[in-house]
Amino acid sequence: MDRAEKIDSIMKRRGFLWRSSEIYGGISGFYDYGHIGTLIKRKFENLWRHFFLGLNPMFFEISPSTIMPEEVFKASGHLEHFTDPIVRCKKCDFVERADQILENILHEKFEGLSKEELNEIIKKHKIRCPKCGGELEEVSEMNLMFPIEIGPFKKVRGYLRPETAQGAYVNFTKEFNALRKRLPIGLAVIGKAFRNEISPRGGVYRLREFTQAELQIFFDPDEINDHEDWESVKDLNMIVLLAGSEDAKEVSCEEMVEDIRLPKFYVYYMASVYKFYTEVLGYPKDSVRFRELSEDEKSFYNKLHWDLEVKLETLGGFKELCGVHYRYDHDLSSHEKMSGESQKVFLNEKKFIPHVIEISFGIDRNIYALIDFFYDERDGKSVLKLPFKVSPFDCAVFPLVKRDGLDERAIEIYKNLSGHFDCYYDDSGSIGRRYARQDEIGTPICITVDYDTLKDNTVTLRDRDTANQIRVKIGDLSATISKIIQRGKF
C-alpha cells in the first residue's frame, strides 16, 4: 500500500471519515465524519476560535442560517457569476468542466477563461469526448449553488449558502449597533456551505457539502495602511510566491509592505494566518507558503487574494488550505443597493461603507491535510503524529492485565481524568496492540496501570512519538497531562 492508501485505510477502519451513505453507494462530494473524525474536527474548530477571535476583543462568532433568500445572492453576485464552464458529450452524455477536459488533454491550465475562449480552444484543437470520442456540445455556464424551494407551493426561492460570509454581511448593521458602533469588528462563522461542484474529486479536498470557518473583518478603509498590533508581526518572515513567478522567496512582513506594496492591515492578517499554521498547528516553515492569485484566478469580488498553501505528499505538492481576501466594499454596497437598507456607518467624522478583509478556511481539507502531513511510521507501524491539541484523545488508560484489581484501578483513573480530558479506555488485547491502536489515531499519551501501581501509586506514561516511558504519581497525573498537551511535546 502507498501512503495515500494507508491513510485512507486508517480513516475508514478507525472512525475518521468516509463517503456519506456508503451502503447505498454514496454521492460524490459528500462525506460523513465518524467518532474520531468528529473529535478532531471539534478540536480544530476550537483552536481556530481561540486563535482568530483572540486577535481582537471586538471579534465574535455568530451563527446565521444556512438557507438564504435569492436576493442575497443576486446582491452578492453569486447568482450571475458563481458558475463553472461545463461541456457535455452529444453521444454518451459525459459531463465535465470544460477547463478540466482541456487541462487533462493539453496539460495546461485553463481556469478562469470565458466560455467563448474555451469554445475556441476546443475547436482549434478538435477536442472530443474523452470517454467515447463523440462530439462535444458548446460550452455553457452552470451555477454552482443549490436552489431550495421554500414553503407551501414552493413559492419562495432560496439557496443553500455557497459560503458562510454572506451570513455575516446581512447581519453587519445589527452587530455594528450591538457592538456599540466601533470599527474594526470581526464576525466569524463556522458552519456548513454547499457548492454543486460539477465533478468533485480528490476526496475531501473538493466537496459539495463542507464546513467553513470564515472571519469577516469590517474596517475603515482610511486606516488600511496601519494596524495597531503591527510591531508584533513586522519582522516575521514568510515564504511567498508572487503571481506569475516560479520561485517562492522568504520576505518579512515589513518587506511585504515596502516592496510588494501590500497594505499593513492586510499583511497583519496574512501574518496571523501564517502563525496559526506554523506556531499553533506546528507545520514546519518550509512546508507552508503564501501564493498570490493571478487576475484570472481571483474571484470576481476580491481586490487582493493570497492563499495559504501547505505541501502535501499524497496530493502532489502545495495545496490551498486558507484564503485571505480583501473584498473591498463589494458585499455591503451591493446589499445596500439590493435591500434599500443603508449599510453605511457614521464614524471618525464621516459616513462610509466599511471595507472587509476575509479569512476563509475550509475545515475538511485542513483536517485531511493534518492527517496526511503528520502521518508517519515506526517499525513498520502507523503513527499519526498529530499536533497534540487536535489529537482526538488527549490520553488513553489501560490496565496491564484485566485481573488482580488492575482493571478496577484503571477504570477509576479513567473516570477521574475523563472529566477534564478527552480520554479513552481500553482493556482488550495485548498491551502492545493497544499502544499500536492509539498510535494509529494519534493519541499523544498512554497511561498504563501495572502491579507497581498497587504498591506505590504510580503509573506509566508513554510518549506516542518516541515510545519512551516515564513513571508519574497518580496524584500528579492531571497536572502532568495538562502540561504535556499545553507544551505540545512529551
Under the rule (CB under 5 A), what is the footprint of Zn ion? 89, 91-92, 94, 129, 131-132, 134
Residue 126 C-beta: closest distance to Zn ion, Å? 15
| Beta pairing partners, 471 | 460
Calpha distance 75→331 (Å, rounded): 7
Q: Which is nearer to Zn ion, 26 or 134 (CB)?
A: 134
Residue 100 C-beta: closest distance to Zn ion, Å? 15
Q: Which is nearer to Zn ion, 40 or 136 (CB)?
A: 136
Amino acid at 339: S
Radius of gyration for the alpha carbons in the chain, expressed in angstroms and rounded: 26
Q: Which is nearer to Zn ion, 87 or 356 (CB)?
A: 87
- The values of phi and psi at residue 461, to 5°, are -110, 130
Residue 127 C-beta: closest distance to Zn ion, Å? 12
Given CA atoms 24, 27, 32, 37 in this order, what sign does their dihedral have?
Answer: positive
> Please, what is the angle between helix 35-53 and helix 363-374, to 10°?
110
Q: Which is nearer to Zn ion, 58 or 142 (CB)?
A: 142
Q: Which is nearer to Zn ion, 132 or 454 (CB)?
A: 132
* Cell of residue 9, nine digits: 485505510
Residue 79 in contact with residue 143, Cβ under 8 Å? yes
For residue 371, count CB atoms less than 10 angstroms from its CB and return exposed for 0-12, middle for 13-18, buried for 19 or more: buried
N-terminal to C-terminal alpha carbon distance within the chain:
30
Calpha distance 68→158 (Å, rounded): 5
Q: Which is nearer to Zn ion, 92 or 106 (CB)?
A: 92
Residue 378 C-beta: closest distance to Zn ion, Å? 48
Residue 421 C-beta: closest distance to Zn ion, Å? 56
Max Cα-Cα span within the chain: 83
Q: Which is nearer to Zn ion, 125 or 131 (CB)?
A: 131
Strand (E) or helix (H) holding 395: strand 395-399
Residue 198 C-beta: closest distance to Zn ion, Å? 16
Residue 130 C-beta: closest distance to Zn ion, Å? 8
Nearest one of 388, 408, 367 to 487, comparing CA atoms: 388
Specify the pairing of strand 185-194 against strand 209-219: antiparallel
Residue 131 C-beta: closest distance to Zn ion, Å? 4
Q: Which is nearer to Zn ion, 91 or 192 (CB)?
A: 91
Cα–Cα distances in angstroms (integers) from residue 264 to residues 202, 228, 261, in the given order: 35, 10, 9
Calpha distance 103→283 (Å, rounded): 31
Residue 141 C-beta: closest distance to Zn ion, Å? 21
Calpha distance 5→13 (Å, rounded): 12
